[in-house]
Amino acid sequence: MRRVLFLFLLLTASAWGATEARPVILMVHGAWGGAWQFSRIEPFLRDAGFEVRRVTLTGLGERSHLADANIGLETHIEDVLNVIRFERLDHVILLGHSYGGMVITGVADRMPARIARLVYLDAMLPESGESAFAAMGADQAQALAAKAEGGFIPAWWVRPEKPYPRDTPHPLRTLEDKLILTGAGRDVPGLYVLTTEDLAHPERDDFYPASQRAAQRGYVVITIGGDHNVYWRQPEATALALAAALRSP
């Protein structure tokens, strides 16, 4: 069934590409991550008819040599805004994973005219005045803050001998900063993709409250099976689910 759906998407992508430009998906990773995390899903999204751009936020991934304790949430929002400006992108499908939901929400508020759709992939969906720590809840926030060292939260699960690419320490301030919104991005259509390993009880998932908030805003909400990093562990299935949801009326 998956192969039939993929063939259908390929055919519709070919027909689409013959008449208009391929839609652009601009992908924003989560905490500790980098653009490298989307390398597995990118070819499947391209096969489905999308142009893919991947951003690495300042101080992370291949830009970890720029790590500084003063990097805040606004720095990461500007990272994405500048990709849109300098690449002259328009009608962007802006996707954020996990902490990346904080970033794309800020981007849509600053530059709503350039954003065609927001996609929250198991991501935070903040209100104005909320920080990432507030979005994740007091217990988890306190546990993470307790691990901070020198203004960074280390990727404690990464062994020193692990080869690249790998997760890198995340600037603490980006999780503490409150996101202040003007409301300009509230009319940008949204899609929320909740990933859960327990499809029978999605309400037990950490990101279920964010998916409920998305539904209250009028966003399309879909649920797919898998862990938090489905774009890495299930790239083809995730690309198919995204493509189908983005192409549906």
**pLDDT band at residue 21, thresholds of 50, 70 and 90?**
confident
Residue 133 has pLDDT above 50, yes or no: yes
Domain enclosing residue 160, as ranges: 2-247
Percent of the chain with pLDDT over 70: 92
CA distances from 158 to 42, 62, 70, 165, 167 (A): 24, 16, 23, 11, 7
**pLDDT band at residue 248, thresholds of 50, 70 and 90?**
confident
Q: Total structural domains in the chain?
A: 1
Give burial (CB, 10 Å; 0-12/13-18/19+) of 152: buried
- Positive or negative torsion for Cα 82, 88, 91, 92: negative
Report d(CA 234, CA 240) in Å as an integer: 10
pTM of structure: 0.92
Catalytic residue numbers?
A: 98
Report d(CA 74, CA 64) in Å as an integer: 17
Q: Is 238 helix (H, G, I), strand (E, B) or coil?
A: helix
Mean per-residue pLDDT over the chain, rounded? 93
* 178: CATH: 3.40.50.1820
Residue 19's pLDDT is 41
**Quick one: which of 147, 128, 137 has its CA closest to 206?**
137
